[in-house]
């Protein structure tokens, strides 16, 4: 469907999450296997590569840890990702499930309470 001004949104470049503790957040995302592109534990801004997109972290004392929503990341193997999280000492909310809407998934919260869902379409 064409938009009136001829401009359309083509893709999602990045999601940026606020963190109170960059070092802890970086350790969490690295333990899940996200490749560090920029920044790091001592930076005010850090970026990880997620396929053709990015997951960014920004140091901000206003990060509340309150539930705000969920980032859904498609992975090649949900069960392998779950085992990777467990092996890293992380605590997913539940073991992978097959959902009625056609995805296999599990949820995990990062150190600031941001909820991630690792998923894969079924079939």
- For the chain, give every domain's residue range: 14-121
Entry pTM: 0.79
What is the mean predicted confidence (pLDDT) over 85-105?
95
What is the mean predicted confidence (pLDDT) over 78-106?
95
Residue 68 has pLDDT above 60, yes or no: yes
Residue 10 has pLDDT above 80, yes or no: no
pLDDT the model gives residue 107? 94
CATH class of segment(s) 14-121: alpha beta
What is the mean predicted confidence (pLDDT) over 48-53?
94
Residue 86 has pLDDT above 80, yes or no: yes
What is the mean predicted confidence (pLDDT) over 97-117?
93
Residue 64 has pLDDT above 90, yes or no: no
Using pLDDT thresholds of 50, 70 and 90, give the confidence band for residue 69: confident
Token digits for 86? 């467990």
SS3 at position 14: strand
What are the residues whose beta carbons fall under 8 Å from the beta carbon of 114, sequence distance 6 or more? 17, 68, 71
Kindly list the distances between the CA atom of residue 11 and the CA atoms of 8, 14, 44, 52, 122, in Å, as whole numbers in the listed order.
9, 9, 26, 10, 23
Q: pLDDT of 20-33, one tens digit each?
A: 999 999 999 999 99
């Amino acid at each position: 469907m064409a938009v009136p001004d001829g401009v359309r949104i083509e893709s999602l470049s990045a999601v940026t999450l606020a963190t109170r503790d960059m070092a802890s957040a970086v350790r969490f995302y690295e333990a899940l296997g996200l490749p560090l592109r920029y920044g790091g534990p001592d930076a005010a801004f850090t970026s990880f590569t997620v396929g053709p997109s990015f997951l960014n972290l920004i140091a901000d004392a206003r990060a509340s840890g309150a539930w705000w929503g969920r980032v859904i990341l498609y992975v090649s193997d949900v069960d392998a990702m779950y085992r990777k999280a467990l092996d890293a000492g992380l605590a997913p909310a539940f073991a992978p499930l097959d959902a009625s809407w056609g995805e296999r998934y599990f949820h995990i919260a990062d150190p600031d309470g941001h909820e991630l869902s690792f998923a894969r379409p079924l079939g």
